[in-house]
Amino acid sequence: MRDLRSPVRHGLLAGLLMPMLTWAGPALAAVDGPTATVAIKALNFLQPKPAKPTPVSLVVDSGHAATGDAVKSALGADVTAKVVEGAGDVSGAVAVIVIGSIDVSGKTTAGQLIIGDMACMEAGKCALAVERQPSGAAKYHVNTAALAKAGVSFDKNFQMLVTAH
Protein backbone atom coordinates (compact mmCIF):
# COMPACT_ATOMS: atom_id res chain seq x y z
CA MET A 1 0.00 0.00 0.00
CA ARG A 2 1.29 3.47 -0.91
CA ASP A 3 1.87 6.15 1.66
CA LEU A 4 -0.85 8.83 1.43
CA ARG A 5 1.72 11.46 2.28
CA SER A 6 3.69 10.84 -0.90
CA PRO A 7 4.22 13.92 -3.13
CA VAL A 8 2.33 12.34 -6.02
CA ARG A 9 -0.69 11.52 -3.91
CA HIS A 10 -0.54 14.88 -2.14
CA GLY A 11 -0.45 16.72 -5.49
CA LEU A 12 -3.39 14.69 -6.78
CA LEU A 13 -5.47 15.38 -3.68
CA ALA A 14 -4.58 19.07 -3.73
CA GLY A 15 -5.51 19.25 -7.41
CA LEU A 16 -8.91 17.73 -6.69
CA LEU A 17 -9.67 19.68 -3.53
CA MET A 18 -8.41 23.13 -4.49
CA PRO A 19 -11.19 23.93 -6.99
CA MET A 20 -13.77 22.90 -4.41
CA LEU A 21 -12.21 25.10 -1.75
CA THR A 22 -11.88 28.16 -3.97
CA TRP A 23 -15.18 28.00 -5.88
CA ALA A 24 -17.16 31.04 -4.85
CA GLY A 25 -20.49 30.23 -6.47
CA PRO A 26 -23.12 32.79 -7.48
CA ALA A 27 -23.93 33.96 -3.95
CA LEU A 28 -20.37 35.16 -3.32
CA ALA A 29 -19.71 36.71 -6.71
CA ALA A 30 -18.62 40.34 -6.81
CA VAL A 31 -21.03 42.97 -8.06
CA ASP A 32 -20.87 43.14 -11.85
CA GLY A 33 -22.83 45.15 -14.42
CA PRO A 34 -25.93 42.92 -14.61
CA THR A 35 -26.09 42.56 -10.82
CA ALA A 36 -25.74 46.32 -10.33
CA THR A 37 -28.48 46.92 -12.90
CA VAL A 38 -30.87 44.70 -10.91
CA ALA A 39 -29.79 46.33 -7.63
CA ILE A 40 -30.45 49.82 -9.02
CA LYS A 41 -34.09 48.84 -9.61
CA ALA A 42 -34.49 48.72 -5.82
CA LEU A 43 -34.00 52.50 -5.77
CA ASN A 44 -37.48 52.82 -7.29
CA PHE A 45 -38.87 51.54 -3.98
CA LEU A 46 -36.95 53.83 -1.60
CA GLN A 47 -39.07 55.99 0.66
CA PRO A 48 -39.09 58.85 -0.06
CA LYS A 49 -38.49 58.25 -3.77
CA PRO A 50 -35.28 59.86 -5.02
CA ALA A 51 -35.39 62.26 -7.95
CA LYS A 52 -34.33 60.99 -11.38
CA PRO A 53 -31.61 60.69 -12.43
CA THR A 54 -30.51 59.21 -9.12
CA PRO A 55 -26.90 59.90 -8.11
CA VAL A 56 -24.93 56.70 -7.44
CA SER A 57 -21.30 56.17 -6.43
CA LEU A 58 -19.49 53.01 -7.51
CA VAL A 59 -16.69 52.35 -5.02
CA VAL A 60 -13.84 50.15 -6.25
CA ASP A 61 -10.56 48.95 -4.79
CA SER A 62 -7.66 51.26 -5.57
CA GLY A 63 -6.38 50.67 -9.09
CA HIS A 64 -9.60 49.05 -10.32
CA ALA A 65 -11.35 52.04 -11.88
CA ALA A 66 -11.78 50.10 -15.15
CA THR A 67 -13.98 47.59 -13.30
CA GLY A 68 -16.11 50.45 -12.00
CA ASP A 69 -16.33 51.95 -15.49
CA ALA A 70 -17.56 48.61 -16.86
CA VAL A 71 -20.31 48.45 -14.24
CA LYS A 72 -21.15 52.13 -14.81
CA SER A 73 -21.66 51.50 -18.53
CA ALA A 74 -24.22 48.78 -17.72
CA LEU A 75 -26.43 51.13 -15.69
CA GLY A 76 -29.39 52.83 -17.30
CA ALA A 77 -30.30 56.46 -17.83
CA ASP A 78 -32.19 56.61 -14.51
CA VAL A 79 -28.90 57.06 -12.64
CA THR A 80 -25.88 59.31 -12.80
CA ALA A 81 -22.96 57.22 -11.64
CA LYS A 82 -19.44 58.16 -10.68
CA VAL A 83 -16.58 55.77 -10.00
CA VAL A 84 -14.74 56.36 -6.73
CA GLU A 85 -11.52 54.58 -5.80
CA GLY A 86 -10.90 53.47 -2.23
CA ALA A 87 -11.29 56.35 0.19
CA GLY A 88 -12.85 58.72 -2.37
CA ASP A 89 -15.82 61.00 -1.74
CA VAL A 90 -19.29 59.41 -1.89
CA SER A 91 -21.22 62.46 -0.67
CA GLY A 92 -24.33 63.35 -2.59
CA ALA A 93 -25.02 59.78 -3.69
CA VAL A 94 -28.37 58.19 -2.89
CA ALA A 95 -26.77 54.75 -3.26
CA VAL A 96 -23.22 53.50 -2.92
CA ILE A 97 -22.39 50.30 -4.78
CA VAL A 98 -19.35 48.46 -3.42
CA ILE A 99 -17.40 46.61 -6.10
CA GLY A 100 -14.60 44.74 -4.40
CA SER A 101 -13.53 44.55 -0.78
CA ILE A 102 -13.74 48.20 0.31
CA ASP A 103 -15.62 48.85 3.55
CA VAL A 104 -17.58 52.09 3.10
CA SER A 105 -19.89 51.60 6.09
CA GLY A 106 -17.98 54.21 8.09
CA LYS A 107 -17.89 56.90 5.39
CA THR A 108 -21.49 57.02 4.23
CA THR A 109 -24.09 59.36 5.64
CA ALA A 110 -27.64 58.78 6.81
CA GLY A 111 -29.97 58.03 3.94
CA GLN A 112 -27.36 56.44 1.68
CA LEU A 113 -28.16 52.87 0.64
CA ILE A 114 -25.04 50.69 0.56
CA ILE A 115 -25.26 47.91 -2.02
CA GLY A 116 -22.73 45.09 -2.23
CA ASP A 117 -22.29 41.39 -2.70
CA MET A 118 -23.75 38.74 -0.41
CA ALA A 119 -20.66 38.60 1.81
CA CYS A 120 -20.78 42.36 2.36
CA MET A 121 -24.49 42.21 3.23
CA GLU A 122 -24.09 39.22 5.55
CA ALA A 123 -21.26 41.00 7.38
CA GLY A 124 -23.52 44.01 7.94
CA LYS A 125 -21.33 46.36 5.89
CA CYS A 126 -23.93 46.63 3.12
CA ALA A 127 -27.68 46.94 3.47
CA LEU A 128 -28.69 45.36 0.15
CA ALA A 129 -27.37 42.55 -2.04
CA VAL A 130 -28.66 40.85 -5.13
CA GLU A 131 -28.21 37.11 -5.52
CA ARG A 132 -28.43 36.09 -9.16
CA GLN A 133 -29.68 32.58 -9.82
CA PRO A 134 -28.43 30.27 -12.60
CA SER A 135 -31.92 30.52 -14.11
CA GLY A 136 -31.44 34.27 -14.60
CA ALA A 137 -33.78 35.22 -11.77
CA ALA A 138 -32.55 37.49 -9.00
CA LYS A 139 -33.29 37.65 -5.29
CA TYR A 140 -32.95 40.75 -3.16
CA HIS A 141 -31.46 40.38 0.33
CA VAL A 142 -31.34 43.07 3.00
CA ASN A 143 -29.47 43.31 6.26
CA THR A 144 -32.11 44.83 8.51
CA ALA A 145 -29.58 46.17 11.03
CA ALA A 146 -27.51 47.90 8.30
CA LEU A 147 -30.72 49.25 6.73
CA ALA A 148 -31.87 50.70 10.06
CA LYS A 149 -28.40 52.15 10.76
CA ALA A 150 -28.42 53.86 7.35
CA GLY A 151 -31.88 55.26 7.98
CA VAL A 152 -33.14 53.84 4.68
CA SER A 153 -36.58 52.38 4.18
CA PHE A 154 -38.38 50.71 1.30
CA ASP A 155 -41.97 50.74 0.13
CA LYS A 156 -44.04 47.91 1.68
CA ASN A 157 -44.52 46.31 -1.74
CA PHE A 158 -40.75 45.91 -2.11
CA GLN A 159 -40.37 44.58 1.43
CA MET A 160 -42.45 41.57 0.40
CA LEU A 161 -39.90 40.78 -2.34
CA VAL A 162 -36.79 40.70 -0.18
CA THR A 163 -35.24 38.17 2.15
CA ALA A 164 -34.37 39.86 5.44
CA HIS A 165 -31.24 38.89 7.36
Determine, yes or no, domain membership for 14.
no
Q: How many independent structural domains does the chain possess? A: 1
The kind and range of the H/E element at 46 are strand 46-47
Q: Which amino acid is at 91?
A: S
Q: Provide the residue range defining the domain that includes 38.
A: 25-164
pLDDT digits (tens, 9 = 90+) for 80-109: 999 999 878 999 999 999 998 889 988 899
pLDDT digits (tens, 9 = 90+) for 54-70: 999 999 999 999 999 99
pLDDT digits (tens, 9 = 90+) for 111-165: 999 999 999 999 999 999 999 888 888 999 999 999 999 999 999 999 898 999 9
From residue 118, alpha-carbon distances to 29, 33, 62, 123 in Å are 8, 15, 21, 8
Determine, yes or no, domain membership for 13.
no
Determine, yes or no, domain membership for 3.
no
Determine, yes or no, domain membership for 9.
no
Residues 6+ apart with CB under 8 A from 131: 26, 27, 118, 138, 139, 141
Determine, yes or no, domain membership for 134.
yes
Q: Greater confidence, 55 or 18? A: 55
Q: Residue 135: which CATH number? A: 3.40.50
Determine, yes or no, domain membership for 6.
no
Question: How many angstroms separate the first and last alpha carbons of the chain?
Answer: 50
8 A C-beta contact, residue 132 and residue 38? yes
Please give the model's pTM, rounded to 2 decimal places: 0.80
Determine, yes or no, domain membership for 92.
yes
